[in-house]
Amino acid sequence: MPLAETLPVGPDTAQWSVWGTVARIVVTDPALLAEAAMMVRAELSAVDAACSRFRPDSELSAACRAGGRPVTVSPLLADLLGAALEAARTSDGDVDPTVGAALCGLGYDRDFAAITGRTATSAVRVFPAPDWRAVRLDDRALTVPHGVLLDLGATAKAAAADRAAVLVADRLGTGVLVALGGDIATAGPAPAGGWRVLVQDRPGDPRCTVRLPGGAALATSSTVARAWGAPGDPLHHILDPRTGRPASRVWRTVSVAAPSCLRANTLSTAAVVRGHSAPRLLAGVPARLVTATGEILRLGRWPA
């Protein structure tokens, strides 16, 4: 995942590995760090049980196995799936939760940490995603068409960051930043001068530091961080739903600031999918795009 993290690490910060990336929490009151970290861990565990496509016992996996019959899901999964469908709607289908089978066909069929170093073979299958509009969510009644495998990877991680930040701020009354890889959400009062965030994909890549006010969010989508396959033809996890193939590597990374991490992630992911049309999509939005050759394009009010 993109390396987007607060600086520095100190007594106000906790971090651990989750979902093939790093979870990090920073609070303005260090005395509340242990309790806040425990709350975030519990929230991420609940999200994983609800919508992991790598767990056969998750609610999402059960719904995908229901053969097109409606299944009553938990309020949590209903919220997460509602967020995914809203992202699909607002991105005109660029961010599509029905890409699960296409990802599996490309070899991304387990937690990313388990496929690092995997080489693509002739067994790779490529096919476009079904139409996301075929997925029905009526309150808590979810209907997944027969044969469709949902993947909420992008939106669920961003939504989890939003949920966890609001949860900690509301219950503990502290300012908090929650970072899940490149998905960063904040809630409550920010420290003096704002939250300092380093935006960088990998060591040695172009980098910058920005300051987020309390309640702001930042998401970075990358075509080079979660990559696997043959050295000459690497694959990555952001698919163009219309082709079932990884989006063209016009951009190495796209970073977007927005009022919520879910919105920021929707825009950054859609921008990767749109390739050369991304600047039109992000017109007026604070964004930083890095080309395949390392050139930087700043849009909106992204600082120089």
**What would the pLDDT profile of 153-162 be if each residue is shown by its tens digit?**
889 999 999 9
Tokens representing residue 146 in the block: 């027969």
Percentage with pLDDT > 70 across the chain:
83
* 34 CB-contact burial (10 Å; exposed 0-12 / middle 13-18 / buried 19+): exposed
* Domain regions of the chain by residue span: 3-299
pLDDT over 50 at 117, yes or no: no
**What would the pLDDT profile of 49-99 be if each residue is shown by its tens digit?**
999 988 999 999 999 999 999 999 999 999 999 999 999 999 999 999 998
Q: How confident is the model at residue 224 (pLDDT cuts 50, 70, 90)?
A: confident
Which amino acid, residue 36? A
Q: How far apart are CA 146 and CA 128, in angstroms?
A: 16
| 168 contacts 189 by C-beta, under 8 angstroms | no
- At residue 2, the pLDDT reads 39
- At residue 233, the pLDDT reads 55
Q: How confident is the model at residue 172 (pLDDT cuts 50, 70, 90)?
A: very high
- The rounded radius of gyration (Å) of the Cα atoms in the chain is 18
| 16 contacts 35 by C-beta, under 8 angstroms | no
- Determine the 3-state secondary structure of 107 from DSSP: coil
| 50 contacts 140 by C-beta, under 8 angstroms | no
Name the nearest CA neighbour of 241 among 88, 136, 61.
88
Listed in sequence order, the residues at least 6 apart from 7 whose beta carbon sits closer than 8 Å to its beta carbon are 196, 197, 198, 209
**What would the pLDDT profile of 10-25 be if each residue is shown by its tens digit?**
789 999 999 888 999 9
DSSP per-residue string spanning 234-263: EEES-EETTTTEEPPTTEEEEEEEESSHHH
Q: What is the mean pLDDT of the chain?
A: 86
Domain boundaries 3-299, corresponding CATH code: 3.10.520.10
